[in-house]
């Protein structure tokens, strides 16, 4: 088996600045041990997110120049609408500036006090938009999806029994929509099988419920289905994608992931009456229905990106290169969420920093060490992001896992960059007991991970 190479060559380069450990030590201190507060130019390998960080192709850049900036009915809009309708089969395509704008519109229409919205796992902005509407966000991922070492091929699946029980408990009338996130970002970038999507559809049909996908990483999910689901090997990713969307009544999409663009989103639906109401909200805050808060050139880049992401050589390389990082870390003894996800590797920071109690933020402490010794930026998904104080008892509640996510931007880093990341982390691992814990010195009441400040314990 030969190496699966990057299926592109590099036409434009952006220098990355090499810094010394001493410089990074000072930068980290100035950023109060929070990598979100580090200026990006001081980062060597930036694995903070795979969102909006993709490199665009020459065809996308060519499209940017062709972008039609007409306020209404731009040619670029019709190209995007036709592309998305052809790929997904959804009749109503609404452009938005990013995924959370689609979520805000959807839940303003479907949410509200007393409502309950199930999902395998809600992404933070999805949960926030559900809750902002007054509704309750419920998570129904299968139990295997919560066990970091379980190698279930579709750990993102929604538990059908739990869904039936929820409907039995609260009643179908209180559930305005059932969501499934593909791939399941908050659960480790794990895929959802076609079989599971069909089962969710069947439950929704039995109870008359609409079914929406959070389809940010729809192409990566479809590629996993092709590789892992019995009977799917001979189907094209394009056909599998179509089958996924055919099972749903609509979708929210952040085009900043599998759309291969730096900004953009979509809200898709079949229901004519709902689409009319959504269009009215779109005009209120995003813009007219043929641009939705985006420039014509952005629509053009999206239309091209959604086609390119279905290239199976690209997807095979994409999933392989993320798995390559995971396997390299495992060889060094680092424990990760298994199997590797589609867009990121999640390090078990509680294991990596087992000498640190959770109230000294092992994930954040590991983030700081990755930056200090390797110039690598990642994100904590643990007690900083999700820890909170119980208002009733005053005690701190910690999430079940302390994770550090290494998200891989699309088409940006080469295998040698990833080798460097593996080497840097493998070098830290044997001396990990020297990593110092952190305490919070300042934090806002909500979404504290973005701006919290820390000091070393
Ligand atoms: N849904 C999922 C599953 C996501 O991963 C994201 C964004 C969104 C919705 C919101 O989209 O950012 O365009 O408004 N995830 C990014 C991340 C931010 O780093 O995982 P957005």
Shared-domain flag, residues 357 and 420: yes
Q: Is 220 part of a structural domain of the chain?
A: yes
Whether 183 lines ligand 1, by a CB cut-off of 6 Å, is: no
Q: Is 11 part of a structural domain of the chain?
A: no
Report the separation in Å between the CA atom of 217 and the middle of ligand 1, taken as the mean of its atom positions.
Answer: 10
| CATH number, residue 196 | 3.40.640.10
Determine how β-strand 92-96 pairs with β-strand 265-269: antiparallel
Shared-domain flag, residues 186 and 100: yes
Question: Residue 446: pLDDT above 80?
Answer: no
Shared-domain flag, residues 77 and 180: yes
Shared-domain flag, residues 451 and 362: yes
Q: Is 268 part of a structural domain of the chain?
A: yes
Whether 185 lines ligand 1, by a CB cut-off of 6 Å, is: yes
Which band of pLDDT confidence, cut at 50, 70 and 90, is reported for residue 301?
Answer: very high
* Candidate from 326-335, 345-354, 369-378, 447-456 with smallest mean pLDDT: 447-456
Shared-domain flag, residues 190 and 328: no
Shared-domain flag, residues 101 and 139: yes
Query: What are the tokens at 132?
Result: 């902002």
Q: Is 15 part of a structural domain of the chain?
A: no
pTM of the model: 0.96
Work out how many domains the chain is built from and give that number.
Answer: 2
Number of helices (H), then strands (E), in the chain: 16, 16
Q: Is 14 part of a structural domain of the chain?
A: no
Which band of pLDDT confidence, cut at 50, 70 and 90, is reported for residue 447?
Answer: confident
Shared-domain flag, residues 126 and 85: yes
Residues 216-226 pLDDT 10s? 999 999 999 99
**φ, ψ (nearest 5 deg) of residue 359:** -80, 0
Report the separation in Å between the CA atom of 71 and the middle of ligand 1, taken as the mean of its atom positions.
Answer: 27
Determine how β-strand 438-442 pairs with β-strand 453-456: antiparallel
Which protein residue has the closest C-alpha to ligand 1 atom 5? Answer: 185
Average pLDDT of the chain, as a whole number = 96
Unique residue bearing structure tokens 């953009």: 264
Report the separation in Å between the CA atom of 432 and the middle of ligand 1, taken as the mean of its atom positions.
Answer: 31
**How far is Cα 71 from Cα 85, in angstroms, rounded to an integer?**
21
Question: Residue 1: pLDDT above 80?
Answer: no
Q: Is 6 part of a structural domain of the chain?
A: no
Q: Is 8 part of a structural domain of the chain?
A: no
Q: Average pLDDT, stretch 13-26?
A: 95
Question: Residue 253: pLDDT above 80?
Answer: yes
Residues of the domain holding 331: 21-50+311-456
Domain boundary among 308, 340, 374: 308
Question: Residue 437: pLDDT above 80?
Answer: yes
Cα 368 from chain centre: 22
Whether 102 lines ligand 1, by a CB cut-off of 6 Å, is: no
| CATH number, residue 44 | 3.90.1150.10
Q: Average pLDDT, stretch 352-365?
A: 97
Which residues, listed in sequence order, are joined to residue 455 by a DSSP beta bridge? 439
Residues 72-121 pLDDT 10s? 999 999 999 999 999 999 999 999 999 999 999 999 999 999 999 999 99
Give SS3 for 274. Answer: helix
Whether 125 lines ligand 1, by a CB cut-off of 6 Å, is: yes
Mutation probe of ligand 1 site: the residue of 53, 254, 268, 305 with most atoms within 8 A of C-beta: 254
Domain boundary among 308, 327, 350: 308
Shared-domain flag, residues 352 and 268: no
- For residue 2, what pLDDT is reported? 86
Give the H or E element holding residue 64: helix 58-66
Which protein residue has the closest C-alpha to ligand 1 atom 11? Answer: 99
Report the separation in Å between the CA atom of 123 and the middle of ligand 1, taken as the mean of its atom positions.
Answer: 7
Shared-domain flag, residues 155 and 188: yes
Shared-domain flag, residues 299 and 315: no
Report the separation in Å between the CA atom of 59 and the middle of ligand 1, taken as the mean of its atom positions.
Answer: 25
Q: Is 428 part of a structural domain of the chain?
A: yes
- For residue 445, what pLDDT is reported? 82
Cβ 238 vs Cβ 307: under 8 Å: no
**How far is Cα 330 from Cα 328, in angstroms, rounded to an integer?**
5
Strand extents, DSSP E, 279-402 = 344-348, 376-377, 379-381, 388-389, 396-397
Domain boundary among 247, 278, 308: 308
Report the separation in Å between the CA atom of 399 and the middle of ligand 1, taken as the mean of its atom positions.
Answer: 20
Shared-domain flag, residues 299 and 316: no
Shared-domain flag, residues 182 and 250: yes
Which band of pLDDT confidence, cut at 50, 70 and 90, is reported for residue 349?
Answer: very high
Residues 147-190 pLDDT 10s? 999 999 999 999 999 999 999 999 999 999 999 999 999 989 99
Mutation probe of ligand 1 site: the residue of 52, 53, 97, 99 with most atoms within 8 A of C-beta: 99
């Amino acid at each position: 088996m030969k190496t699966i190479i990057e299926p592109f060559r590099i036409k434009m380069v952006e220098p990355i600045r090499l810094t010394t450990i001493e410089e990074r030590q000072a930068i980290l201190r100035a950023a109060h041990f929070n990598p979100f507060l580090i200026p990006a130019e001081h980062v060597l390998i930036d694995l903070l997110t795979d969102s909006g960080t993709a490199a665009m192709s020459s065809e996308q850049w060519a499209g940017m120049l062709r972008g039609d900036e007409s306020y209404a009915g731009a040619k670029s809009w019709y190209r995007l609408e036709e592309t998305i309708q052809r790929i997904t089969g959804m009749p109503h395509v609404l452009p938005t500036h990013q995924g959370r704008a689609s979520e805000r519109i959807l839940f303003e229409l479907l949410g509200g006090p007393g409502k309950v919205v199930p999902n395998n796992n809600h992404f933070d902005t999805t949960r926030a938009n559900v809750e902002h509407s007054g509704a309750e966000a419920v998570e129904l991922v299968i139990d295997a999806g919560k066990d970091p070492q379980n190698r279930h091929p579709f750990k993102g699946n929604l538990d059908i029994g739990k869904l039936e029980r929820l409907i039995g408990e609260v009643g179908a009338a209180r559930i305005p929509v059932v969501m499934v996130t593909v791939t399941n970002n908050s659960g480790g970038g794990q895929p959802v099988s076609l079989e599971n999507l069909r089962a969710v559809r069947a439950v929704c049909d039995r109870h008359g419920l609409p079914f929406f996908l959070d389809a940010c990483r729809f192409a990566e999910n479809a590629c996993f289905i092709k590789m892992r689901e019995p009977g799917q090997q001979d189907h094209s990713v394009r056909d599998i994608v179509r089958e996924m969307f055919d099972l749903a009544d609509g979708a929210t999409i952040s085009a900043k992931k599998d759309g291969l663009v730096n900004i953009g989103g979509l809200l898709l639906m079949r229901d004519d009456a709902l689409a009319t109401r959504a269009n009215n909200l779109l005009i209120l805050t995003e813009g007219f229905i043929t641009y939705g808060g985006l420039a014509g050139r952005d629509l053009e880049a999206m239309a091209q990106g959604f086609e390119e992401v279905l290239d199976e050589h690209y997807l095979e390389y994409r999933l392989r290169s993320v798995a390559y990082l995971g396997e390299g870390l495992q060889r060094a003894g680092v424990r990760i969420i298994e199997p590797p996800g589609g867009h990121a590797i999640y390090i078990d920071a509680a294991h990596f920093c087992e000498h640190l109690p959770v109230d000294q933020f092992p994930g954040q402490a590991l983030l700081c060490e990755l930056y200090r010794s390797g110039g690598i930026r990642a994100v904590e998904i643990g007690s900083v992001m999700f820890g909170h104080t119980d208002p009733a008892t005053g005690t701190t509640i910690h999430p079940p896992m302390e994770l550090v996510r290494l998200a891989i931007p699309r088409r940006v880093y080469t295998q040698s960059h990833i080798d460097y990341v593996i080497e840097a982390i493998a070098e830290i691992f044997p001396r990990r007991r020297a990593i110092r814990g952190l305490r919070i010195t300042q934090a806002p009441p909500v979404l504290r991970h973005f701006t919290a400040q820390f000091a070393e314990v």
